[in-house]
Chain A
């Protein structure tokens, strides 16, 4: 399991993360939420070793991440970014199967597993032969998720996975994703700035501000008893659709 112990990070003179402790709960979905620049993406990138902490350490199943072991640890973590991060030169099938093929899986096994993932994420099988530029945004994101799940990792990290999708596509994908996470009992960490999405996915919601954890718990707790004014303002900043009924009839 992934754990941050007193991890801090600065870029130049800007401290983007103050010393922070954080542990993902196995089998649960943790949501990191907060305004831009609050440090939520930095935490995700620290977890997968894209950046190294200035202080403290990042542990995976109790082992600190080092340059020597990070490559192998990454293979046990699924990572999804906005728009899928697919390679344009590979077909959908090859994008999902790239690492498995590299690790020496036989082709029939790769194909079978990719098709299984396509069914799971409800991607039409005929889309597997196409290239990323021939697919819709929603299909690309489903492929990104398939790629993350391909080797059946225990942990899935998602960095604003729905950010580029239109509302209808996003709605469907959110439904599908939650079912997948719950049915596969994955340990999940999602970065978002959308309160609705945070409440929909999060067993636990962590609200960050200015590089530190401001409040964490169920979304209901955050809404009912905000820890401070920042939490209250962040929650109230979410606009819900209102319907003007007066004068219509």
Chain B
């Protein structure tokens, strides 16, 4: 069973780039990530030691089924800091979501 969590929400300031950090309790695995369309996302686990995405572009593609749009992986977590950078058009409202198991 999956659980959906928003880990970042905001307007892209700082020349269209924002960083975020997040700690997850009560879940053992991150299954997938997705974010607002038209932005680039970098994501690192294990307190910044393990980079999973580096400037990955999330496009606005409604031709793809919604369940297939997240980037799917399987990363075990244990009270660690998940960090990332989201970048795109300055002033754009953007969000990042993790799917946890």
Asked if A and B bind, the verdict is: no
